[in-house]
Amino acid sequence: MDNGSRPEKIERNLGEQPIAAKMAELGLSTHDVVSAWPAQLSHKSVSMACKGRRLTKHMQGVIVTAFNNAARAVKPDWTDLSKADLFDY
């Protein structure tokens, strides 16, 4: 912030993410993903991930793991997807 300039704003809303399409393809709901994670994960976090609200790398990792667990419950031969497959930022 030298010369009195304002810092650049970080875009936080990035549009629908690939995770939303994958969930629809598999017939997964937000609740399915939340219940596939053994620790605390909120429906709001999964919903924000689908809508494209910027998440921390840690939260992205949690959601990717939960998504893969839920996908395996529906489709046992599921091949795990990565952050790059489910998020485009």
Q: What is the mean pLDDT of the chain?
A: 91
Is 39 within a domain? yes
**Could you report the per-residue pLDDT of 40-52, keeping only the tens digit for each?**
999 999 999 999 9
Cα–Cα dist 78/26, whole Å: 10
Domain residues for 45? 15-86
Is 80 within a domain? yes
Q: At what angle do helices 57-74 and 18-26 cross, to 10 degrees?
A: 20
Q: HSE-up of 25 (CA within 13 Å, CB side)?
A: 10
pTM: 0.85
Is 78 within a domain? yes
Contact 87, 18 (CB under 8 A): yes
> How far does the chain reach from its first CA to its final CA, in angstroms?
25
pLDDT interval class at 2 (50, 70, 90): low
Is 2 within a domain? no
Is 26 within a domain? yes
**Could you report the per-residue pLDDT of 12-33, keeping only the tens digit for each?**
778 899 999 999 999 999 999 9
**Could you report the per-residue pLDDT of 29-41, keeping only the tens digit for each?**
999 999 999 999 9
Q: How many domains does the chain have?
A: 1
Is 9 within a domain? no
